[in-house]
Amino acid sequence: METLSLRCSNCGAPLQADASARQLSCGHCGVRLRVVGQGGEWFTEVLEELRADQRALRSQVDAIRIQREIAQLDRQWESVARRRGWGSRRGGAPMSPVRVRKGLQLAIALIVALGVVAFWLIGRRAGAHGVDEQARWGVLSAVVLVAIAIAFTLRATGSYQKAYELCQQRRRHLLQLLERVRGD
């Protein structure tokens, strides 16, 4: 049987290998080696290094895939926000539903407060000058109607917020994965 005279690419120790052997361990340093033939020359390569190269390559591919997924998630979310009318202004990030909800709650509070003041003011004028009581109740009904309309909008933002939270959760998860992959 033909034997090859090789050198360990890790420590340089001479090695004898069967011609059909593709892998062997160095008897001197113990590293796992691959037997490579190129242009009639035979040499060895450390298997661990190959594995490290493959790992690095796989990490890069994973990182690209995760980044693509994050970009896709952002695009999806932006289109959801646009459909609801709370899309980004001038290419920025979509408005956070938390802010939308806070704005709507503030609007209800303001309208109710204004209504109460108007109701009270008209009541005082009515007492002093005999102004029609109908105006008073007209103001009150208008305030109640507007407040109800805003409350319905507020309710609709509930599902928007849920979608937003799910999206943010997935995004955080992907960012963590990306960090881990890059740390490899």
* Residue 46 or 150 with smaller CB distance to Zn ion: 46
* Residue 43 or 119 with smaller CB distance to Zn ion: 43
Among 6, 17, 24, 26, binds Zn ion (CB under 5 A): 26
Neighbours of 184 (CB within 10 A): 11
Long-range contacts, 57-61 (Cβ 8 Å, 24+): 59/181, 59/182, 59/184
Among 13, 57, 156, 166, binds Zn ion (CB under 5 A): 13
CB of 20 to Zn ion, least distance (A): 21
**Side-chain-facing half-sphere of 108: CA atoms under 13 Å:** 16
* Residue 29 or 71 with smaller CB distance to Zn ion: 29
Query: Tokens 């120790």 sit at which residue?
Result: 13
DSSP code string of 14-52: EEEEETT-SEEE-TTT--EEEEEEETTEEEEEEHHHHHH
| Span interacting with Zn ion, options 6-14, 121-129, 154-162, 165-173, rule CB under 5 A | 6-14
| 10 makes contact with Zn ion (CB under 5 A) | yes
CB of 22 to Zn ion, least distance (A): 17
